Chain A
Amino acid sequence: MRAYFDHAATTPLDPEVADAMSRVLRDVYGNPSSIYSEGQTARALVDQAREDVARALGAAPNEIVFTSGGTEADNLALRGTLRARAAEGDGLVTTAIEHHAVLDTAHDLAHEGRARVTVVGVDKHGRVEPEAIERALDRRTVLVSVMHGNNEIGTLQPLARIGAIDREHGITFHSDAVQTVGALPLDVSRVPVDLVSVNAHKFYGPKGVGALYVRTGTRIATLQTGGGQEKGRRTGTENVAGIVGLGVALRIAAAKRAEESARQARLRDRLIEGVRGRIPGAVLTGHPSERLPNNASFCFPGTQGEALVVALDLAGFAVSSGSACTSGSTEPSHVLLALGLGREVAQGSLRLTLGRGTTEAEIDALLAALPPIVARLRAVSAVPV
């Protein structure tokens, strides 16, 4: 038996999405920029997807820019804003628990001398205080970037309050919502956020396609030059099948969201309670209530995340010790260290993320398999070498 508990890394493609995409790949070859009817067919599909994405976010279609994924959306948001607003200032405020797509981009901009970067810390649950963001602002700040839901620990951020502060100061507010769009409602007509990164494969869409929401009136420069597609904001012939997949996937996710998120949250709570009841010393990482409905993340002091992942894989469970992008290194995650956890504790991290396919039987099987594995690893680690 295999059970997949790593939906934060990626999700399986929804069969309906796969069907829609294969029809496009098979039958639609026109270039959306072409005038004749083959081009118009392709253009109509891209337009439809843009409408689907816009509707899911409470945005207007012309506010959606398709990209190659979440990383490109984050790069476009940060680099594009800093470039477009360079005359006004170069201040970039972000947080210690952002995804590497934001943090490394910020560091790169700082290294190139194009941004002064202020990294704001978080509390022990991984929450950013809006007041801390406000304190970090100065006259030269042009961009604040705070993720919506954390990919490792699932903590959700108070975007509305942070956005209100930024708007008051005329600062562009970006949020990497790669983990939340599809799982939680994010309505840009209510939340004062100017740029939002979206990634299709986190909500049962294809890999290699994402989007950046750009609020009308937000100044952003393009990163690449070429044929001028996406209103010049992201030039290059459109990935038509991928964009169709993104649109269909988000439409399905929005329709299933309320019911599915509630179901996953119940299973998540069963998992968290089960782990806490069965494994002494288990530390739940992230916020106890303000967290993604599918995220249960822990540290088990006296273990190593790498060994937990291998042992669970061999027992039939796909899990992660943190973000998929940094696994393979045994350095404790920057997110866990930002919570104030010691390296010893942070080393034994395990991230379990649920999805549409997760069943109660899988949760119970995991709850049966995990305690003896943790005990085994602790017994080995306790032996002085």
Chain B
Amino acid sequence: MSDRVFVAMSGGVDSSVAAAMLAERGEDVVGVWMRLTPDDGSRDAPRCCGTDQAGEDARRAASRIGIPFYALDYAEVFARDVVDPFVAAYAMGETPNPCVACNSKVKFEALLRDVVAKFGGSRIATGHYARVTRDDAGRAHLLRARDPNKDQSYALYMLGQRELARIELPIGELADKSETRAIAQRFELSTADKAESMDICFIGGDYREFVRERVPEAFVSGPVERGDGIPVGTHGGIGTLTVGQRAGVGIATGERLYVLRLETDRNAAIVGRRDEGATMIALRDVTFTGDSAPSGPFSSSVALRYRGAPQPCTVVVSGRDATIELSEPALVAGGQAAVFYDGDEVLGGGTVTRALAS
């Protein structure tokens, strides 16, 4: 088995810099670009890291860095494990996080497996802003990036010891953007400020249109009610709504109202004041970076959205499920990731199933 490290290159500057850093360190680096959407030439998905233009960008970056490069096809697994669940989640009134699904199922499962088992590599690297460290006992720890403004550790919470042992996240060590720039300049990598990929990579335009084509039933209008059942308006379909968003109703009462929850069986949206949010939240598919849950209930802090500030909580784990209790009510959408932190370290996390009580 070689000590090759395969870098997942998206075509963007972050993963290109990650590849450059590893090459500079003298590692045996191979660049791979993952095709995530079928190559039918007709789709208009300008920001997608799984389109051909991005593949060309990645190829050029690899050539500048001077490493071998391959484009590999993961369109099938991406459709099955990211896109289909994404659409299904909206139909269930959830707000999915496809980046978490992609990291979990595609990058750190399918790609990692292929790199190790098919291509004989030892590790994979990505352009995520986070850090992996090892302690004296040989255990791996997942930490926030050195640059807190860029931190992406939230989207990596599902990694366990098996994965962390085989992952390099070089750019998580960079202190700030100027360091990234300097490396990019050294390798003449294009740093042209691309639109920050905050949008969903496999959808060119409005995600609602994408979902509507696939699950029209999530776009049937229904009632908007207060928690006590009093109707206050109508909505254009639960596929258009996210828990926590400002509700476009209640102007008459002068209150600021938010979507508290979506009741898919009645196609109803329940709205209320921010302080009517939930303090008890149920999670599913809970994992820990150390592989096992702390014994008994434990205190932690939890981030309930990407770049969300962690808030104090108590966690009770039961198998793959968990319940978290917050000190302050929060508006949390089903399908989002809840990630436990101890300071800078990611302890684990799970998928929000629903708010249990206010």
When the two chains form the complex, which single residue of B4, B68, B72, B120 contacts A376, counting CB atoms closer than 8 Å? B120
The total of chain B residues at the interface (CB under 8 A) is 17
Contacting pair B119 A311 (CB below 8 A): yes
Q: Which of the residues B4, B71, B77, B117 comes within 8 Å of A314, measured between beta carbons?
A: B4
* Pick from A314, A329, A380, A385: contact of B39, CB under 8 Å: A329
Min CB gap B89→A, angstroms: 21
CB contacts between A and B, total, < 8 Å: 35
> Taking the complex as formed, is A120 at the interface, i.e. its CB lies under 8 A from any CB of chain B?
no
* Beta-carbon nearest neighbor of B55 in chain A: A328
Task: From the candidates A306, A329, A376, name the one contacting B117 in the complex (CB within 8 A).
Answer: A376
Which single member of A310, A329, A330, A379 contacts B119 (CB below 8 Å)? Answer: A310
- Asked whether, in the complex, the Cβ of B113 is within 8 Å of the Cβ of A314, the reply is no
Q: Which residues on B sit within 8 Å (CB–CB) of A380?
A: 113-114, 117-118
With A306-B72, A328-B71 in contact, is A385–B117 under 8 Å at CB? no
B293 within 8 A of partner (CB): no
Give chain A interface residues in 279-307, CB to chain B under 8 Å. 306-307
| Residues of A with C-beta under 8 A to B113 | 380
Interface of B is mostly: mixed
Tier of interface size on chain A:
10 to 19
Q: A310 — which chain B residues lie within 8 A by C-beta?
A: 70, 72, 118-119
Interface flag for B316 (CB, 8 Å): no
B23-50 residues with Cβ-Cβ distance < 8 A to A are: 30, 39
Q: Mark B116-142, 1 if CB is under 8 A from A, else 0.
A: 011110000000000000000000000
Give chain A residues whose Cβ lies under 8 Å from the Cβ of B2: 314
Closest to A330 in B: B73
Contact assessment for B110 and A385 in the assembled complex, using a CB-CB cutoff below 8 Å: yes
| Bound form: Cα–Cα A35–B68 in Å | 50
Separation in Å of the A255 CB from the closest CB of chain B?
37
Separation in Å of the A310 CB from the closest CB of chain B?
Answer: 5
A269: CB under 8 A from chain B?
no
- Report whether B118 and A376 are in contact in the complex, using a CB–CB cutoff of 8 Å: yes
Distance in Å: Cβ of A169 to nearest Cβ of chain B: 40
Contact of B118 among A307, A329, A330 (CB under 8 A): A307
Q: Distance (Å) between the CB of A305 and the closest chain B CB? A: 11
List 5 A-B pairs, minimum CB-CB distance, nearest first.
Answer: A380-B117, A330-B73, A307-B118, A310-B70, A311-B119
Q: Which residues of chain B have a CB within 8 Å of any CB of chain A? A: 2, 4, 30, 39, 68, 70-73, 77, 110, 113-114, 117-120
Apart from the given pairs A314-B30, A314-B120, A377-B118, 7 other A-B contacts in the complex at a CB distance below 8 Å: A306-B73, A307-B118, A307-B119, A310-B72, A311-B120, A376-B117, A385-B77
